[in-house]
Amino acid sequence: MGKYWKLLTILVVIVLSVGTFYITTAIAGNSSPDFKFKLEKGDIKDIQNLKLVGDYLHGMNGEGVAITSDDTVYSSELSYFSQLNNSFYTEPAIQQLQKDYRGFMRGKTWHTATISQDEEQVVYANVKGNDFTNKVKEFEIELLNKKTNNKTTFTVDIPHHEKYNYVNVENVNLIDGKVKLVTLNYLSNQDQTQDEIHLFQIDLKKQKVIEDKVIYSNTVQKQQNSSLYRVESGNTTSFNDYTVFMKDTFKEMKDEYGNYYEEIGKSELIAVNMQTGKVTTFTPPPEFDLVEDSSTFAVSGSKLYFLQADGKGYEVLEYDLEKAALTKKPITQLPESDSAPVMRRQVKAENNKLYIVIQVQSQKAPADVYVIDLKKQQTIVEGKLVSEKVTNDAGNYELYINDFYVNE
């Protein structure tokens, strides 16, 4: 009889916990503002695939928020189990795969960098046992045939894995029956070379690595530091023509009081052609104001796009990665934001369109949103994110847009 009382007690605790969760959610949701897109140019259908994700802070309380053209959803409004699964922050491309291939996607990472697909198959590739306390040794590969629903799983040794503390998969592509991986490898014994960019080819039939090519070594001089990171190219599981990295080098300086600080020295862009494996390294043109805007890049096909403030507003510059040349004039001009200070600028490319979100410090219109048709080189959407249904209780709040996604 005792065990039944224990089970009953556990059940009551679960019911009360979940019940309290939903009551608290209902109370909290009443005072939270709704956000809508107010367009000054264009059609709302052109941003129906846009999803902004961030943090909403009100007093001492904070929670996640997702904003689309249809709805504003707070993390507290999600089901108990959705919150446990972290589905709120999952990229739309991954959510679609989870919906279509639930069994295959179970337990997979939520980031598109490790997944690629074509019409026939889906491939997942990541590092097994990837942390700083357990030496990396193997790639874990899983392949799903969409027609038969058959799954193939295997591991392959990472060549010279003993050299690395950490290996991060930056991009996965399916090409001609092979998986191409671009990885960022952090060396165990750092001297002047701190990390390396690798291009791996894995034969799916033979289930083995057939190429491991070091395409860039991040080497710095003494008394220098550097950061090497991938330029954002959207949240897609489709084929990427290029994978682009930025390297920033910092010099160690000393002020008049003897205090040390770092000053950015120079920057390099490293572009990897995923079809041919050709690597192009170039110094960004002076038109790119990297000190202020180092994160406002997007890659579409063989073009690199950069959002540049010009004193009147913003201009979008285009760099041809194949020709290694900057287009002579901006492809479009965007108007200046309102008088509120700019907090962050984010740019992503998808479906031959460039999506731009410029966040400002304003509660009435916390962000400007633009969509540019890259083929026509025209701005097709100009709009603002505005708050609606703000009660007195929710009047003083802060909204931080951490990221945004575009559905494929």
Half-sphere exposure of 174 (CA within 13 A, CB side): 21
> What tokens were used for 369?
């949103």
Indicate if 192 and 210 belong to the same structural domain. yes
Has residue 7 been placed in a domain?
Answer: no
Indicate if 118 and 265 belong to the same structural domain. yes
Q: Give the whole-angstrom CA distance, residue 4 versus residue 19.
A: 22
Has residue 25 been placed in a domain?
Answer: no
Q: How many CB atoms lie within 10 A of CB 81?
A: 9
Find, among 222, 204, 233, the residue nearest to 351 by Cα: 233
> Which residue carries 């994700």 as its tokens?
53
Beta strand 50-58 pairing with 398-406: antiparallel
Tally of domains within the chain: 2
Q: What share of the chain is helix, strand, coil (3-state, %, to 5)?
A: 15, 50, 35
Has residue 340 been placed in a domain?
Answer: yes
> What is the torsional sign of CA 61, 63, 68, 72?
negative
- Confidence band (pLDDT; 50, 70, 90) for 50? very high
Indicate if 296 and 263 belong to the same structural domain. no
Indicate if 38 and 108 belong to the same structural domain. no
What residues contact residue 185 under an 8 Å CB cut-off, 6+ apart?
163, 164, 166, 167, 168, 195, 196, 197, 198
Q: Give the whole-angstrom CA distance, residue 247 versus residue 270.
A: 8
CB 357 within 8 A of CB 346: yes
Has residue 11 been placed in a domain?
Answer: no
Indicate if 259 and 309 belong to the same structural domain. no
Q: pLDDT per residue over 233-279, tens digit each? A: 667 788 888 999 988 888 777 777 878 777 777 888 899 999 888 99
Q: Give the whole-angstrom CA distance, residue 263 versus residue 255.
A: 11
Q: pLDDT per residue over 52-68, tens digit each? A: 999 998 878 888 899 99
- Mean pLDDT score, 23-33: 55
- The reported pTM is 0.82
Has residue 5 been placed in a domain?
Answer: no
Has residue 49 been placed in a domain?
Answer: yes
Say yes or no to pLDDT of 211 above 90. Answer: yes
Indicate if 97 and 215 belong to the same structural domain. yes
- Tell me the backbone φ, ψ of residue 239, rounded to 5 degrees: -65, 135
Residue span of the structural domain in which 366 resides: 31-83+282-408
Indicate if 218 and 263 belong to the same structural domain. yes
